[in-house]
Chain A
Amino acid sequence: MKAKLLPLLGVVFGLLMVSGPLSAHHGTGAFEMEKLTTLKGTVTKFEFINPHALIYIDVVGDKGDLEHWIAESNSNNHLHRGGYDKNSLKPGDQVIVTGHRAKNGAYSLELQCKECSVTDLQGKVLLGYYV
């Protein structure tokens, strides 16, 4: 039993080392922190609030059905200091969103990492990660 557990612990430790620190309001255990997911869709709502700004995105799925995604970025205070504001995203914006997806398969993304962002279709950053 011990022999089986040890390699497993090694993997867990390795993942912890890779995922790196975050300055989030809550823990990140519910998200695939070792993997990035990228979506292309349309912003339907942008809430510039504490403790995390929320971005609602409609994405057309593989089978043509509409998926309603919700992504959380950093707090409005942090984003504001990074030069973003309530007008950084608007309903109707066509965007590419990169973040960590919920482990349980929910349409939820966590955008608090240095590689995480919301860009337009040409790659211009509309909402980046700050602090």
Chain B
Amino acid sequence: MRNRLMGSIPALAAVLIFALLLRAQTPGQPDAAKARTGAPTVDLSGVWEGNMGDIRWATYSFAPEIPPMTPWGKQRYLAAKPSYGPRAVNDSTDYVNPTTGKDVGCLPPGVPRIYIQPFVFEIVQTPGRVIELFEFDHHIRQIFTDGRQHPKDPDLTWMGDAIGWYEGDTFVVDTIGFNDKTWIDRAGLPHSDQLHLIERIRRPSSDALEIKMTIDDPKAYTKAWSGYRNFKLRPTWNIEEFICADNADYNEEFINKGGAYSSPKPSGQHAKPATPNT
């Protein structure tokens, strides 16, 4: 009996090895995809603050170069009036960071731009869902990790439709379904409603978070391009209140009455405060 059992072990091993080889060679099953799981394999929870050191371009974008654009993208880029970056203007009508009193600036910056806004965000991991709580205007983002797929024809929204999964030490977020009302960054890089954003989020050390992103938008760019942003953990901080309506007071007082953004005056003369908007 024992001899018969021993004799079958090599046969079983051969079958097992064959099955594994067959599985490995099956097309469309890359290793990363096999390791996908909805259950957290890395702890990303905490309050995170942007940490890009003295890199100037990082105050307004995710990459140092301006990516090659389609004619549609270029047109949108040149029409933008950002308050940051190579094309910054003093009379920006950017509805997130306006430098005119015409706009209070309460519309959402959208994703990924919201990561550049100079306020912290918190990651909360729950079963089936990862939640990003942004201090800036208290925006929230839900990333579903329960195995669902994107809707076939999603409604277009500011934050998009986000699904995510874990691959070892990396949380991957796949987002589509954006409206085209936002910019990629604070410098006016455009995107369309065809934007497909992929984020790979890691924690390279206990107090650091890294988000690498691929921006794939065939309507706006001639090819997909990559950017990144690093964050540091703020273990003693909480998300604080940010009420956008306060910005109305600020705009009225500093932008309108302060007069710094009104037309330049000849040297030696003080500018009269701009007329407040009604």
Contacts and interface: CB of A to CB of B under 8 A. Distances in A.
B119 A108 contact: no
Nearest to B135: A77
A81 B234 CA distance: 11
A25 to B, nearest CB: 6
Given A30-B261, A105-B265, A16 B88 contact: no
Contacts of A103: 260, 264
Given A72-B254, A104-B262, A21 B118 contact: no
A114 B257 CA distance: 26
| Residue of B82, B237, B240 ringed by the most chain A CB atoms within 10 A | B240
A70 B254 contact: yes
Contact of B58 (A21, A24, A49, A78): A21
B interface secondary structure, majority: loop
Given A20-B56, A106-B258, A108-B259, A27 B82 contact: yes
A29 to B, nearest CB: 5
B262 A50 contact: no
Contacts of B263: 104
Nearest to B258: A108
A50 B247 contact: yes
Interface in B74-108: 82-84, 88-90, 92, 97-99, 105
Contacts of A26: 83-84, 92, 97-99
B88 A29 contact: yes
Contacts, number: 115
Interface stretch (B122-130, B151-159, B162-170, B268-276): B268-276
| Residue of A50, A54, A102 ringed by the most chain B CB atoms within 10 A | A50
A87 interface: no
A87 B40 CA distance: 44
A65 to B, nearest CB: 11
A interface secondary structure, majority: loop
A106 B262 contact: yes
A29 B118 contact: no
A58 interface: no
Nearest to B116: A23
Contacts of B135: 77
B247 A51 contact: yes
A31 B90 CA distance: 10
Interface in B232-258: 237, 240-243, 246-247, 249-250, 253-254, 257-258
Interface string A22-49: 1111110111000000000000000101
Contact of B259 (A24, A104, A131): A104
B177 interface: no
Contacts of A52: 250, 254
A49 B83 contact: no
Contacts of B261: 30
26 contacts: A21-B59, A24-B118, A26-B84, A26-B98, A26-B99, A27-B83, A29-B90, A30-B99, A30-B261, A47-B253, A50-B243, A50-B246, A51-B247, A54-B254, A72-B250, A72-B254, A102-B260, A103-B260, A104-B259, A105-B264, A105-B268, A106-B273, A108-B254, A108-B258, A131-B49, A131-B118
Given A22-B59, A50-B250, 15 more contacts: A21-B55, A21-B56, A23-B59, A26-B84, A27-B92, A27-B97, A27-B99, A29-B90, A70-B258, A72-B258, A102-B258, A104-B263, A105-B270, A106-B258, A106-B260
Which 7 interchain pairs have the tightest Cβ spacing? A27-B83, A102-B260, A106-B259, A23-B118, A108-B260, A106-B271, A108-B258
